[in-house]
Structure 1
Amino acid sequence: MSMSTPQKIRIEDLGDPVLSDFQKAALAFGERNPVELSTDVVLSTAVEKTGLDDFGPEDFRERLALWLDEVEQDSEATALARFGLFNDCVRHASNRLRIRDLYERHPEIHDVEISRPIIVVGLPRSGTTHLVNLIASDRRLRSMPLWEGQQPVPDPREEPGPDGLDPRYVRSAQSWEGMRRSAPLVAAMHPMNPDHIHEELELQLPDFSSYNQEWILRSPRWRDYYLAHDQTPHYAYLKSVLKILQWFSPRERWVLKSPQHLEQLGPLLTTFPDATIVVTHRDPVSVI
């Protein structure tokens, strides 16, 4: 079997970017739609969006406030970056409300068992995405597509469209298309098609604790805060959302993956003590 050589990508305009018409329009959209990066505004918007108001334990507010303040204090953050963070945080808060509400209405979800998950762990850019997709090709295993992770609990007020597609899938596809057009090279690094398997760190975002912010923002204060706090409670939150997904669509065994786990093996194994850990062994220099 022959394998094609990956196309080399050379960025010629890093110091002085040449923007496409779509990128210019996106930046202009951000300027026309300023947002207030405050915890109260994010949460009130989520309440209005969902019709729910019980966020559960309030400790997440401190973490949300830090996420927002990192961008508020960044003088180089564009209006579009502020708009994107605001909407992401509203989505996470909305998911938190829906998750809390579903558990209140269906406490039996607590009894769902997540047994013997297969968890892929490795450095970023070391092939973890390819490996998890290979393992997940075994149809007996349960994996999480991006569209499901972005909104684990469906909105009961929504129904599939005439095409039969879940509205969550449609929103995820629209989001990816916007990202693909605004940052075309992302597809070569980490494609985020709605049906592609996604990292379960997405399920920690409604609890506002994940290393995800380091990937999308300049966030040194969040990095230090995150590393200084035990992440076990947030892994327990992740597991509680996995239980919801399994309750909706039962399957015997999960396959999961995230490079984040490499620095959180303690909390990971405390939460999933019977997990099988699969590690990608790569030369760190080649990964960087």
Structure 2
Amino acid sequence: MSFPFSSVAIVGKYMDENALQQMQSDLTRLAHHLLQQGLHVCVEENTAKFIGYDGFVVTDLDRIGEKSDLVIVMGGDGTMLSVGRALRESAAPLVGINRGRLGFLTDLQTDNMLVELDKILAGEYQIESRMLLQSSVMRGESSIYHTVALNDVVIKSAVRLIELEVHVDGKFVSRQRADGLILSTPTGTTAYALSAGGPIMHPDLDAISIVPISPHTLSYRPVSVPAESTIEVTVVSATDAQINFDGQGQYPLLPGDRIRIARAAQKIQLLHPQSYCYFDMLRNKLNWG
């Protein structure tokens, strides 16, 4: 599969003006370079305030996918997560330039980003689809909240153990007391789920990982289920329980609430350099020998 890249969008760490200020010179250099290639360039409205040139189109994040064949995200994994969710209805693939900490989702480095981007624009890339999770909170017979996550959906209490009951496709799995529970995509298995002792799953796998956070019963271990599964988690008892997605949004939960999690209909597409190797990335980011 190939993409005719004639229109390219740029999104910086749009929710953080201090971060945008620090990456201003790189953003400006990137925008100038793309314009010099004869491309139509669109810039997210908050990012555009920090690029010293007006030869591009400015738009809000929700409309960028309509105007672009490729979206370049400069920031960290958090920025990629929020942009990926926002553009999930778009066919435009994403490529990341790392200005964060670990950068599991952002392959390019600023010192060689223009060379690598020119290769991608010339068709030298790998394309990869990443699954999303759709979750809804049921209170009684009403659905009161919906979320979409690229990394994970997390159910936990801020102050003490939470008691949860888990069913998969209507079949009882367990009732557990723990600090919480993580429902993770393969993408999210290198995030919070990894810190909680969950497995690393290759992004090509169609699976959802169910990872307890510090369970009171130590024999309760992470389990992965097919991505076609529907997982239902019931809050049995909790104080200050909440659900959050990708660590970027949250909603309060009450005892009796049921959370249904399943694979979302949409996927996002990531572009990697031709030389990209998932295991090389893991070795470098996790300091494996």
TM value normalised by structure 1: 0.23
More strand by share: 2
TM value normalised by structure 2: 0.23
Q: Whose relative contact order is higher, 1 or 2, with alpha carbons under 8 Å and at least 6 apart?
A: 1
More helix by share: 1
